[in-house]
Structure 1
Amino acid sequence: MTPDEIRQKLQQVKKQRLTELDLSNPSWIPEWEKLTQIPTEVFEWEWLETLNLSWNQLTSVPKAISRFTNLSKLDLSWNQLTSGAEFLTHLTNLSGVYLGFNALKSLPEDISSMTHLSELDLTWNELTHLPEAITTLTNLSGLYLGYNKLTSLPEAITSLTNLSELDLYENPLEDPPIEIAEQGIDAIREYFCQKQAGEDRRI
């Protein structure tokens, strides 16, 4: 997206108070045409509900993003994010978060504040563990964690009764074993149920 195209789109959103802002790029756009930071004026538009910044060159997200209290969908996939995504905990109205194809190494421990979250895509990052608080996101129906570095899952993840899609493909999982994890959430629930039963018998 050229600077002129970005400028025109920003002017349109501001003038018409549109609730959706799309500053994403086609995959074939050269890197030098992609955003390396979010335009500062965007943070004045607290009415935004959908923000798409995918396929850019963003390495971090400023704290000012917390102003988007009405934001329900945020797409930051295909960027260069490496931080712990702490900014998410301030966006408590989010229902869909797409952070795939970055380099995130962790999630914030207080992610439990995101009570409206129903879809979370973290495919192709560098996550080594999940915070226990993720098991409190009771509205979560889709969790995509393929191609990370997870070796275990919190057992309480099985208590997420609305979780119907759980992608863990290509993780070095040991607990549960990857061959079970790749069968989906029902197989994972059965694994932990049997594991708990075995521990109870030993007591």
Structure 2
Amino acid sequence: MNIANYFQKNQMIAKVEKVQKFKQKSLNLEDFDLAEFPDIILNCDSLRSLILQRNRIAELPKEIGIHLRGLKHLSVQFNNFQSFPECLKELTTLVSLNISHNPIKHLREDIDCFKELKCLWCNSCGLKTIPKSLGNLSKLETFGARNNEIKILPKTITQLKELSWLSLEGNCIEQLPNGFHKLSNLHHLNLNRNHFKQIPKVLVKLKSLRFLHLQRNNIKMLSCDTIMALINVKICLINNPIENGQEFIEFKHLLLNPSDYQQNPTNEEDMITDSSEDDSDWENSTDTLYLNYDSSSQSPQSDEDDEIVKNIPKCSRFFLCQ
């Protein structure tokens, strides 16, 4: 074991033991180069938030639901799970789950076993479908499935009455299911980089909608009736082959060109006005959501900072990041 691994392992053990001793509620083991789930975590029955992102973990212990039965927030993004961990079904108290950037291919067919779930992120997981049971998550407020291979949304998604934040960027979706207007609380909708040929007319009926992203679709013509009906919605249509865009240049709620985006400095800030503290990647459509429920921790790094850290030798990086 080299010196960096030695210090890293001991730092991990020290953090876990501190949580256990003082009955702390949060544990962040991001980027600890963990190849396996540390079993000593199972002794931390006080945990409510566990962050294991950016490691190499491929399995979770079967007993996790027994020992961490009070866990509410779990982030395992950027690991090596080849399928959705079966044992997670025992964590029935989960309020948020981030399993993004794992090649799991499928969500559980009975994803509604997480009755308390309010936030679910599964970006870049190779998903082709969304299970129908997702519609039974009556408390779900945020759902992100960016950069997958989804073509059709299940009609049951329209049952999510509490859903306010939906991000489906980077899929193969051509149309929204019938009844989509039933999402009465939907506030943010990200449909960038899909296959839409027009702004879905059903969006006109979404009275709570305020931010709509439709960048890089196949929209050629804009309907005046639709645009007028969405006058209170900020709509980003950059990089669409729009032929009649000149007719709408006076509409301030439309962003049709990259210059419009740059000339509207308040737009990005507005787009995250009533998001949670961890949803700051919405306007940039980044690949993942940084979940951090430890109020004592610092703000997450920017992408630029992350790249700088990656280029620092491991031993130096470890001491710098601690």
Q: Same fold (TM over 0.5)?
A: yes
Closer, same or farther: CA 171–8 of 1 in aligned 2, 3 Å: same
> Matched residues in 2 for 1:20 and 1:183: separation?
43
Q: Could you tell me whether the CA contact under 8 Å between 1:138 and 1:161 is conserved in 2?
A: yes
Look up the equivalent residue of 2:203 and give its one-letter code: A
Cα deviation, 1:1-41, whole Å, max 9, x if unaligned, reads 7112112112211211212111112xxxxxxx500111112
Q: Could you tell me whether the CA contact under 8 Å between 1:158 and 1:188 is conserved in 2?
A: no
**Who wins on radius of gyration, i.e. which is larger?**
2
Shift in Å, 1:180 = 4.8
Matched, 1:164 2:192: no
Q: CA RMSD in A?
A: 2.5
Closer, same or farther: CA 176–75 of 1 in aligned 2, 3 Å: same
Q: Could you tell me whether the CA contact under 8 Å between 1:169 and 1:182 is conserved in 2?
A: no
Shift in Å, 1:45 = 2.2
**Residue number in structure 2 paired with 1:6:** 12
Return the TM-score normalized by structure 2: 0.52
Shift in Å, 1:62 = 2.1
Local SS of the residue matching 1:63: coil
Return the TM-score normalized by structure 1: 0.81
Look up the equivalent residue of 1:48 and give its one-letter code: L
Q: Could you tell me whether the CA contact under 8 Å between 2:172 and 2:195 is conserved in 1?
A: no
Q: How many residues align?
A: 182
Closer, same or farther: CA 36–188 of 1 in aligned 2, 3 Å: farther
Instruction: Tell me which protein shows more helix as a share of its residues.
Output: 1
Local SS of the residue matching 2:63: helix
Gaps of 5+ in 2: 178-193, 207-322
> Matched residues in 1 for 2:101 and 2:53: separation?
10
Shift in Å, 1:131 = 1.3
> Matched residues in 2 for 1:15 and 1:182: separation?
57
Q: Could you tell me whether the CA contact under 8 Å between 2:62 and 2:87 is conserved in 1?
A: yes
Look up the equivalent residue of 1:98 and give its one-letter code: N
**Residue number in structure 2 paired with 1:176:** 176
Q: Could you tell me whether the CA contact under 8 Å between 1:167 and 1:182 is conserved in 2?
A: no
* Structure 1 stretches of 4+ moved >4 Å: 179-184
Closer, same or farther: CA 188–103 of 1 in aligned 2, 3 Å: farther
Gaps of 5+ in 1: 26-32, 191-203
Mapping for residues 112-151 of structure 1, pairs under 5 Å: 112-151=112-151
Shift in Å, 1:60 = 2.0
Look up the equivalent residue of 1:57 and give its one-letter code: R
Q: Could you tell me whether the CA contact under 8 Å between 2:129 and 2:153 is conserved in 1?
A: yes
> Matched residues in 2 for 1:109 and 1:148: separation?
17
Shift in Å, 1:120 = 0.4
> Matched residues in 1 for 2:158 and 2:91: separation?
25
Shift in Å, 1:176 = 3.5
Q: Percent identical across equivalent pairs?
A: 26
Look up the equivalent residue of 2:12 and give its one-letter code: I
Look up the equivalent residue of 1:118 and give its one-letter code: K
Shift in Å, 1:99 = 1.2
Local SS of the residue matching 1:123: coil
Cα deviation, 1:93-132, whole Å, max 9, x if unaligned, reads 1111111111111111222121110000111111111111
**Residue number in structure 2 paired with 1:84:** 84
